[in-house]
């Protein structure tokens, strides 16, 4: 039955007739303003961590806004099942080519196809960059500086933390003083306790992870029930995804959401300005006129859209005079160490990463590589765990069954590590086309020696932490990456970046990028909070520019 409904949802838009689903109420609806195909102030392509806050904050300033997403508009309370396989409907699994020395695994860890984007199935870890990581070139001697000062970013972090009711520790052990998190910490599951004990044994700080799931009821959203299905889509709405936070706010402010609307091309006029987008919805192509176009499709779909929008005047892709569209693709290292303990751990209970150490983000000494990393406790769900064992350790048959029988005693730590920008890592267009007839992206990625050194250090350190807590039979998982960034870098000049600090294209003044692609560097923390903070900043900057008549 669920599959049948899923099929229907996959092909029939829910937004329309003056209403959009209310994600917080079963079968509920929100009244929604609609603009038809009239020219709007902004059309935003993508409704994830970048597009959703931007849509809400632009609509609140009185702009007419349409935000489109290729994915469906779900109501988690009724559309999400406690089934890892079924919930794969949340990932972007359209055809793509991957190559390079270390081809990326695309899907769960780095994509989302739904209104709300990948925030619907993210692990909710909501961290601020270390201040120096906004200026790694001048402060730490690697990468490239952001065109934004960290203090400004920290103000926007605070705005997002409040909006998402982040639950976090009263005192955060690293970095400059920050305001108290809006909600208190969640109880730590056993996996988190192993991180804490290990960190204590190794003499470094740890803390409860700041996390975007409610520890108290807020509005119509229930507090977390520690069900543990976070990364396959929270069905209780405790998770503060863009779907249940920014999207309803955007709709209430007068934005229109178009679900199941795949944007294929940005149209430009003779003067080189964007005039709107061609999009595919309900089995037909349409054109939406807009005074401004914002690409917010994340670090693969955004450059793909810009490259697919090449025209006679800009044959190498829109906004690509620097040649940097698609280049400097960054991921984050997601290597892990695992071990077995006598006690029952059942690490999949509760949010997967309830304890964290940012020690190696804030400590530069003792490293034979550049960049920072953090590590967190882990709680893989059973199917994912079986896949990990089969893929990483080559276990199959009885060996896999035996190892799965030990799953409740498995404890693990996983890193989120900084990958440095490298022009050779990039998104280009393949010759093949997808179901919409659009050229599919080719994603090329290879580790540099720096990354290899970082992962060696991290895995050894995490293993040491596990062993300090009595774990035995420890082993490394070396093949995982997470998150994306960097394919439409922001910067201070048109030659070395695609957009300016506001996300505005140097080449096409009414084209903007608002997602993780603008990151000049990715730092050593999960990016969702930073993407949302940047989106809030972009919205404020657009308002300021409009007031000065500079739009």
Binding mask 312-351 for another protein (x = CB under 8 A): ----------------------------------------
Number of shown-chain residues binding another protein (CB under 8 A): 24
Q: How many CA atoms lie within 13 Å of 38's alpha carbon, on the beta-carbon side?
A: 9
Find the shortest distance in angstroms from Cβ 217 to another protein.
4
Instruction: Please give the structure tokens belonging to residue 338.
Output: 């695992």
The strands making up 97-99's β-sheet, listed across from edge to edge, are 97-99, 439-444, 426-433
Find the shortest distance in angstroms from Cβ 460 to another protein.
22
Find the shortest distance in angstroms from Cβ 197 to another protein.
5
Cα–Cα nearest to 209, from 350, 409, 29: 350
Binding segment (CB under 8 A) for another protein, from list 30-38, 215-223, 254-262, 365-373: 215-223
Contacting residue, 175, 223, 272, 543, with another protein by CB under 8 A: 223
Q: Examine residue 225 and tell whether it contacts another protein (CB under 8 A).
A: yes
C-alpha–C-alpha distance, residues 136 and 249, integer Å: 35
Q: Which is nearer to another protein, 166 or 429 (CB)?
A: 166
Q: Examine residue 254 and tell whether it contacts another protein (CB under 8 A).
A: no
Find the shortest distance in angstroms from Cβ 183 to another protein.
5
Find the shortest distance in angstroms from Cβ 158 to another protein.
16
* Per-position b or e across 14-27, b if 16+ CB within 10 A of its CB: bbbeeebbbbbeee
Name the 3-class secondary structure at 499: strand
Contacting residue, 70, 196, 230, 386, with another protein by CB under 8 A: 196
Q: Are 407 and 400 in contact (CB under 8 A)?
A: no
Find the shortest distance in angstroms from Cβ 38 to another protein.
41
Find the shortest distance in angstroms from Cβ 526 to another protein.
21
Q: Is the dihedral of CA 56, 61, 63, 64 positive or negative?
A: positive
The three-state (H, E, C) secondary structure of 189-229, written as one string = CHHHHHHHHHHHHHCCCCEECCECECCCCECCECCCCCCCC
Q: Examine residue 201 and tell whether it contacts another protein (CB under 8 A).
A: no
Q: Examine residue 204 and tell whether it contacts another protein (CB under 8 A).
A: no
Angstrom CA distances, 236 to 22, 72, 186, 217, 248, stand at: 14, 18, 16, 11, 16
Q: Which is nearer to another protein, 276 or 350 (CB)?
A: 350
Contacting residue, 88, 222, 367, 456, with another protein by CB under 8 A: 222
Contacting residue, 16, 131, 169, 173, with another protein by CB under 8 A: 169
Q: Which is nearer to another protein, 98 or 188 (CB)?
A: 188
Q: Which is nearer to another protein, 200 or 387 (CB)?
A: 200
| Beta partners for residue 513, in sequence order | 295
Q: Examine residue 62 and tell whether it contacts another protein (CB under 8 A).
A: no
Element (H, E) at 410: strand 410-418
Find the shortest distance in angstroms from Cβ 413 to another protein.
14
Site for another protein in 176-195 (CB under 8 A): 182-185, 187-188, 192-194
DSSP-derived letter for residue 139 is: I
C-alpha–C-alpha distance, residues 113 and 93, integer Å: 8
Q: What is the contact surface with another protein in residues (CB under 8 A)?
A: 169-170, 182-185, 187-188, 192-194, 196-197, 200, 208, 215-218, 222-223, 225, 236, 238
């Amino acid at each position: 039955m669920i599959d049948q409904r899923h099929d229907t949802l996959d092909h029939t838009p829910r937004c329309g007739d003056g209403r959009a689903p209310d994600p917080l109420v079963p079968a509920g609806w929100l009244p929604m303003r609609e603009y038809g195909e009239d020219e709007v102030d902004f059309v935003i392509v993508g409704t994830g961590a970048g597009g959703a806050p931007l849509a809400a904050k632009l609509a609140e300033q009185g702009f007419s806004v349409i935000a489109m997403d290729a994915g469906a508009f779900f109501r988690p309370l009724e559309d999400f099942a406690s089934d890892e396989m079924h919930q794969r409907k949340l990932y972007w699994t359209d055809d793509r080519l991957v190559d390079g020395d270390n081809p990326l695994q695309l899907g769960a860890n780095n994509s989302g196809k739904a209104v709300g984007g990948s925030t619907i199935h993210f692990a909710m870890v909501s961290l601020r960059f270390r201040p120096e990581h906004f200026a790694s070139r001048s402060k730490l001697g690697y990468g490239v500086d952001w065109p934004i000062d960290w203090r400004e970013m920290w103000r926007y972090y605070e705005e997002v933390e409040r909006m998402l009711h982040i639950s976090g520790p009263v005192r955060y052990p690293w970095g400059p003083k920050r305001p108290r998190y809006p909600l208190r910490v969640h109880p730590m599951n056993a996996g988190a306790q192993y991180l804490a004990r290990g960190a204590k044994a190794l003499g470094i700080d740890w803390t409860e992870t700041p996390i975007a799931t409610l520890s108290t009821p807020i509005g119509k959203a229930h507090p977390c029930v520690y069900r543990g299905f976070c990364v396959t889509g929270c069905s209780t709405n405790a998770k503060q995804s863009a779907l249940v936070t920014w999207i309803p706010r955007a709709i209430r402010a007068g934005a229109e959401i178009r679900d199941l609307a795949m944007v294929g091309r940005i149209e430009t006029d003779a003067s080189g300005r964007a005039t709107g987008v061609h999009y595919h919805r309900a089995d037909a192509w349409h054109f939406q006129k807009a005074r401004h176009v914002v690409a917010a499709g994340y670090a693969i779909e955004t450059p793909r859209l810009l490259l697919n929008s090449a025209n006679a005047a800009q044959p190498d892709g829109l906004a690509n005079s620097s040649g940097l569209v698609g280049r400097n693709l960054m991921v984050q290292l997601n290597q892990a160490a695992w071990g077995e303990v006598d006690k029952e751990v059942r690490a999949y209970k509760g949010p997967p990463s309830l304890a964290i150490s940012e020690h190696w983000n804030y400590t530069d000494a003792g490293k034979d590589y550049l960049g920072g990393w953090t590590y967190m406790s882990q709680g893989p769900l059973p199917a994912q765990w079986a896949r990990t064992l089969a893929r990483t350790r080559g276990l199959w048959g009885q060996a896999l069954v035996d190892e799965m029988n030990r799953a409740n005693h498995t404890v693990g730590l996983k890193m989120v590590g900084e990958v440095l920008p490298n022009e050779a890592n990039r998104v280009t267009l393949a010759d093949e086309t997808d179901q919409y007839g659009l050229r599919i992206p080719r994603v090329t990625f290879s580790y540099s020696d720096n990354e290899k050194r970082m992962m060696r250090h991290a895995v050894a350190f995490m293993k040491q932490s596990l062993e300090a807590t009595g774990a035995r039979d420890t082993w490394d998982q070396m093949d995982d990456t997470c998150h994306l960034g960097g394919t439409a870098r922001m910067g201070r000049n048109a030659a070395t970046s695609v957009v300016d600090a506001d996300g505005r294209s140097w080449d096409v003044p009414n084209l903007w990028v608002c997602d993780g692609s603008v990151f000049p560097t990715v730092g050593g923390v999960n990016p969702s909070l930073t993407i949302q903070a940047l989106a809030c900043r972009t919205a404020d900057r657009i308002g300021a520019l409009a007031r000065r008549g500079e739009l």
